[in-house]
Amino acid sequence: MPSQFITIANNASETKKIAKNLAEEILADGKRREGAIVLGLKGNLGGGKTTFTQGFAKGLRIKEKILSPTFNILKK
């Protein structure tokens, strides 16, 4: 059964910290659990989805730079 996690971040730094901590928890929990974890992000343009993803990637120890898909489309 899906579970829901709700929190409020007041700035980009808090958003990244929350996402990083969540990713680290998922990694730690993954050693005890089977199956996939699906994480959905929904929000307006400029709502913090990329910022969250950057923090989440850091928590997963991903080194590549994370850019907004919208940024890449507009850049073309």
Tell me the pLDDT tens digit for each residue of 30-74. 777 777 888 888 888 889 999 999 999 999 999 999 988 776 666
Distance, first Cα to last Cα, the chain: 41
pLDDT at 28: 87
Q: Which residues contact 64 (CB under 8 A, 6 or more apart)?
A: 57
pLDDT at 14: 97
Q: From residue 69, how far is each of 11, 31, 43, 45, 53 by CA, in Å?
A: 21, 31, 13, 11, 11
